């Protein structure tokens, strides 16, 4: 039996994809399933998203795409960054839509693809200001010409990525889209037809209709989490994950006694303390107990206390609790009328909800439900 588990609602994934499709139509939805589906499980999420009408998938690394192909998934898969040169053969074997933005990768990919089969579709990425990866706008036409010089390659798309779309009023998103449009105009003037245009991540797809073009790449929203607190409620999203464990031990601790490593937390009154078999190795950040984070036990909030350890954490149940060994405890998600969201953890940790769900560890069993 698992000591901790993450219940992943594939029905919620489907509902979120449907809501996003309705919001961005006629653009298609590309479900981003990198990082093992943001910790939810790449292949199950991918299948649910595709069944709900997503037309594309996206990953960050070539082995992630190969894993999806090995799972029998045949949909178009976009690789979001250039592969390493040593991965070109694997990428071609997996029939990935490969992102390119440097002459060397285009040249090597053109040679690796050969001329035996149909041209390999590639997506040319332009850096419109995020300055992570992508070609400078002034180099886009030359790179398109380099792609065109290889009969084995075909320019399928030109795309970019928005840096501040999760801040709806920030003017830089409009500036990025202007730079992107200028690159498209330069390509058109040079005689290039771009079949597919995409710029929007989840935040841009929701908050910036002008960014939707032909395809939107939705990651965090697929998992039922708003891209930022400012966008909460903009689209009806259903939470996908519920992280739970069970009470492993309960003991009565005297007032004034310390709890866990360092004995930094001391009880103000005699209390029952529960030990849970989940810790920072499983994605429960060590600082959560110091910041006052609760868990849900019996539908009620109870505080984490003492230092969270690698495999365990402690909860103050109060002096009169009837909680017993084996009772369910929820760390993320709903129990009764109460709910703890990834955003709640993120606020306490001074981070983003993406990091919270991606941190759920490999020891945590994933349990998939259709509801």
Which among 223, 261, 280, 354 is annotated as catalytic?
Answer: 261
Active site residue 145: no
Report the 3 state secondary structure along the chain: CCCEEEEEEHHHHHHHHHHHHHHHCCCEEEEECHHHHHCCCHHHHHHHHHHCCCCEEEECCHHHHHHHHHCCCCCCEEECCCCCHHHHHHHHHCCCEEEECCHHHHHHHHHHHCCCCCCEEEEEEECCCCCCCCECHHHHHHHHHHHHCCCCEEEEEEECCCCCCCCCCCCHHHHHHHHHHHHHHHHHHCCCCCCEEEEECHHHHHHCHHHCCCEEEECHHHHCCCCCHHHCCCCCCCCCEEEEEECCEEEEECCCCEECHHHCEECCCCEEEEEECCCHHHCCCHHHCCCCCEEEECCEEEEEECCCCCCCEEEEEECCCCCCCCCEEEEEEEECCEEECHHHHHHHHCCCHHHHHHCCCCCCEEEEECC
Which among 34, 38, 125, 180 is annotated as catalytic?
Answer: 34
Active site residue 125: no
- Tell me how far CA of residue 113 lies from CA of 88, 95, 116, in angstroms: 9, 11, 8
Active site residues: 34, 261
């Amino acid at each position: 039996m698992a000591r901790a588990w993450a219940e992943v609602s594939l029905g919620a994934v489907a509902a979120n994809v449907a809501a996003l499709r309705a919001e961005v139509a006629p653009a298609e939805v590309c479900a981003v399933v990198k990082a093992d589906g943001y910790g939810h499980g790449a292949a199950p999420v991918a299948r649910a998203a595709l069944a709900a009408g997503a037309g594309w998938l996206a990953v960050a690394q070539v082995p992630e795409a190969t894993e999806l192909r090995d799972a029998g998934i045949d949909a178009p898969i976009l690789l979001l960054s250039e592969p390493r040169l040593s991965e070109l053969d694997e990428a071609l074997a997996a029939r990935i839509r490969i992102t390119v933005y440097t002459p060397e990768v285009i040249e090597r990919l053109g040679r690796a693809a050969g001329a035996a089969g149909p041209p390999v579709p590639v997506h040319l990425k332009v850096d419109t200001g995020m300055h992570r990866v992508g070609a400078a706008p002034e180099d886009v036409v030359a790179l398109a010409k380099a792609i065109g010089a290889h009969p084995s390659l075909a320019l399928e798309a030109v795309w970019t990525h928005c840096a501040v779309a999760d801040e709806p009023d920030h003017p830089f998103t409009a500036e990025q889209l202007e730079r992107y449009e200028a690159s498209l105009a330069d390509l058109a003037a040079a005689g290039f037809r771009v079949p597919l245009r995409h710029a929007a991540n989840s935040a841009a797809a929701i908050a910036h209709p002008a960014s939707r073009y032909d395809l939107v790449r939705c990651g965090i929203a697929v998992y039922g989490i708003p891209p930022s607190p400012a966008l909460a409620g903009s689209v009806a999203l259903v939470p996908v994950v519920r992280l739970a464990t069970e009470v492993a031990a309960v003991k009565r601790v005297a007032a004034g006694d310390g709890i866990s490593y360092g004995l930094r937390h001391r009880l103000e009154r005699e209390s029952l303390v529960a030990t849970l078999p989940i810790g920072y190795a499983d994605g429960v950040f060590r600082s959560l107990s110091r910041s006052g984070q609760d868990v849900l036990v019996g539908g009620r909030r109870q505080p984490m206390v003492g230092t969270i350890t690698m495999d365990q954490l402690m909860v103050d149940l109060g002096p009169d609790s009837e909680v017993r060994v084996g009772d369910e405890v929820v760390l993320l998600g709903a129990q009764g009328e109460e709910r703890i969201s990834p955003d709640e953890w993120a606020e306490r940790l001074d981070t983003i909800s993406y990091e919270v769900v991606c941190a759920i560890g490999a020891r945590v069993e994933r349990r998939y439900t259709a509801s």
